[in-house]
Amino acid sequence: MPAQPAFLTLNRHGTYYFRVVIPKPLRSAFGLQREIRRSLKTDSLRLALRRARQYAARFETAFDKVLGVVDQNDYEPTDEDYELFMEEIEQAGRGEPLGAWSSSPAEPEQKASSALTDEEWQKIDQQQRWSAIAEVLTGNAKRSIPEDRKALADQLFKAGNGIPVPRLRKLLPSLLDELVRQRLGSPGATVAAPAQGTAPSASQPPGPTLYELWLLLRESDKRLNRKKSPSAHTDEQGHARRLTILSGNRPFGSLSLDDINQLYLLTQQVKALPGKNIPPPDSPIESVLASPRDDLISGPTIQKMIIRLRVLHKFAYAKGYTHIDPAKTEAPSVSSETGRIAPKDRPFSKEELHAIFSGYLYTGTDSGSANLVFPYQFWLPLLGLFTGGRLNELCQLETTDIAQEADTEIWFAQLVEEGSKSLKNNHSSRFIPIHNELIKIGFLDFVAQAQREGRKNLFSDGLTYQKIKGWGGIATTFFTRMPSPSTKYGGYFHSIGIRKRLPDGKPDGKKFHAFRHTFIDLLRNTSDEALPLITVLTGHAAKNKNQSDDYGSGFWLSTLHRALHTVKFPIDLSGITYADFEARLGHILKPCIQEHRDRHGLNPSLHPAS
């Protein structure tokens, strides 16, 4: 008899229920809850299996949809995004009517009596209210309210009396704003609690546009110490501009439910534009809508715009800038594959790898049109091939990030987020074994040289930290730049013939990130031992996890090291060494390094001008 599925459990009353483990990246949206359970209300195994499979399919679809957005390389979810994700997943768990043929549950439906008295519940309720007030006034719910703000805190407490705590948390910022306005207008005034679900009064001003809402939300995030990377800020600003233009730059409070639903639909008709070319918010709608000749933005970008609109809508509703309940809107379903580059075009082919490692960085003494040569140019393609690391992860490596495990003497690189170093998400923090091929080429000798010279960052010769692009901005330009009327010369990939313009004039999809796709393809297709370790080695979130995955200390470094060396890399690098690179191009390399150090110092500043 086949084993009972893990998602099906029989309780002590003989009734079956469904259980599913929440993927770890999404647990913060559920208060770190590990799993979701749903009663199947039957003692029939056959009927329970049918209902459980329906739940399993719905939850799997919801998890895949949410994780598909979270796992985008340039996307960092905010707290508001996770709240929307939770709504998506909870929708999957809303059971459908089971019908007249369902058996009655053996487990009696009883209301559990509370072990706490009314006085104890009231005390807990007041503690939650004061914690919420402390958070809005100090940025931390556990911090004591300063003496000079206690009078303001008392007013907020009185104003929120009678409002449920979850709703109060959302209303407190608007209550605080109203209190401040009334104090400025009439010092002795007090604020009344806003009625829930009521529309703004006729005298209320139309309020901010979507772009202005984004600015207000950004200030709120800063006040509450909700950190976002510069790149996430830039992306959100672009989405807010587009949405404001699509709305006709009208105050959001003036939009009807039909207007907002139409705005969701318009996100699918936006033309693709580089971030720096997105028009200002007061531009005409024609500036962002695609004509028949224009390419549309990709599916992942549409999804992010939809998420941003929902976040701004919920913020506006909580602040009282609109009376339209966000729960009543209808957002379209968008495939994340829309507008993507075909998967077969992403990894490097054997011929392209051969071209990369046969170019001037690895053979010959002529650098062609390139007049700047630095160590990072030699090492990053090799590290990309043998680690699958993201470009910024590799560029920001510090000399202390390369270490040796005492017990096994295995060398590894640790990718962590600290100081000026940033990672895509929590799963990106990891240890990567150093492949023996890198050691043969001279990587450990290069690290030792950097340590002797007192360099903090491994690739500080040639790279500097940039406010928006981090440590990887200069390297991105070097490898992937395309010639244009304003830029005469192309980057390294273009110079060796693997990055070209398509018939429509746009660059193809060959970027440094193709090394990551190549690495994953090699793990998947050339090694049975490395296949189950893809997420561990690459820092991706595992989409299907068992509860036992979170126990223990994870995979041993020796396990990762052994698996990595079973992967078959389709390129012969036996003739490549860093010593040879220095000998061949030293006449260009040494002056470039010295000039860079004269300008930026041995360790470039971590506080560049914006």
pLDDT bracket for residue 560 (50, 70, 90): very high
Mean pLDDT is highest, among 12-26, 136-150, 290-304, for: 290-304
Percent of the chain with pLDDT over 70: 75
- Report the C-alpha gap between 272 and 263 in whole angstroms: 17
CA distances from 68 to 64, 73, 77, 336, 431 (A): 6, 10, 12, 7, 24
- C-alpha neighbours within 13 Å on the C-beta side of residue 87: 13
- Report the C-alpha gap between 608 and 470 in whole angstroms: 10
β-strand pairing of 402-404 with 411-415: antiparallel
- Report the C-alpha gap between 370 and 488 in whole angstroms: 11
CA distances from 16 to 1, 37, 56 (A): 18, 11, 14
Q: CB of 15 within 8 A of CB of 39?
A: yes
Token pair 């820092």 is found at 539
* Helix, strand, coil distribution of the chain in percent, nearest 5: 50, 5, 45
Token pair 């995004």 is found at 81
Token pair 């999404």 is found at 26
Mean pLDDT value across residues 346-354: 91
- Pick the range with the lowest mean pLDDT from 37-41, 113-117, 305-309, 502-506: 113-117
Does residue 348 register a pLDDT over 80?
A: yes
What 8-state DSSP symbol labels residue 393? Answer: H
Token pair 């561990």 is found at 536
Does residue 139 register a pLDDT over 70?
A: yes
Q: Output the pLDDT for position 104.
A: 45
Does residue 311 register a pLDDT over 50?
A: yes
Does residue 75 register a pLDDT over 60?
A: no
pLDDT bracket for residue 106 (50, 70, 90): very low
Q: How far is CA 398 from the centre of its chain?
A: 23
Mean pLDDT value across residues 367-383: 89
Collapsing DSSP states into helix, strand and coil, what is residue 537? helix
- Report the C-alpha gap between 235 and 301 in whole angstroms: 10
Does residue 285 register a pLDDT over 50?
A: yes
Mean pLDDT value across residues 149-166: 81
Closest by Cα among 262, 270, 326 to 301: 270
Q: CB of 133 within 8 A of CB of 145?
A: yes
Mean pLDDT value across residues 67-83: 52
Does residue 109 register a pLDDT over 50?
A: no
CA distances from 454 to 366, 415, 593 (A): 30, 20, 15
What pTM did the predictor assign?
0.52
Token pair 């500080």 is found at 460
Q: Output the pLDDT for position 431.
A: 86
Helix axes 118-138, 150-159, angle to 10 degrees: 130
Collapsing DSSP states into helix, strand and coil, what is residue 19? strand
Q: CB of 332 within 8 A of CB of 299?
A: no
- Report the C-alpha gap between 608 and 27 in whole angstroms: 36
Structure tokens given for 398: 């510090």
Collapsing DSSP states into helix, strand and coil, what is residue 214? helix
pLDDT bracket for residue 115 (50, 70, 90): very low
pLDDT bracket for residue 568 (50, 70, 90): very high
* Between 89 and 10, the higher pLDDT residue: 10
Burial class (CB in 10 A: 0-12, 13-18, 19+), 393: buried
pLDDT bracket for residue 71 (50, 70, 90): low
Closest by Cα among 281, 389, 267, 421 to 331: 267
Q: Output the pLDDT for position 566.
A: 94
Q: Output the pLDDT for position 95.
A: 54
β-strand pairing of 8-10 with 402-404: unpaired
The residue extents of the domains of the chain are: 8-92, 125-185, 210-328, 343-600
Does residue 132 register a pLDDT over 70?
A: yes
DSSP 317-341: HHHTS--S-GGG--PPP--TTTTPP
Q: Output the pLDDT for position 277.
A: 85
Does residue 50 register a pLDDT over 80?
A: yes
DSSP 246-300: HTTT--GGG--HHHHHHHHHHGGGBBP--GGGPPPTTS-GGGTBPPTTSPBPPHH
* Between 497 and 196, the higher pLDDT residue: 497
Q: Output the pLDDT for position 442.
A: 96
Q: CB of 345 within 8 A of CB of 502?
A: no
- Report the C-alpha gap between 378 and 577 in whole angstroms: 10
Mean pLDDT is highest, among 55-64, 112-121, 199-208, 436-445, for: 436-445
Q: CB of 542 within 8 A of CB of 535?
A: yes
Report pLDDT digits (tens) over 236-267. Answer: 899 999 999 999 999 998 999 999 999 999 99
- Pick the range with the lowest mean pLDDT from 48-57, 109-118, 439-448, 547-556: 109-118
* Between 408 and 275, the higher pLDDT residue: 408
CA distances from 184 to 146, 171, 181, 188, 207 (A): 21, 20, 5, 10, 19
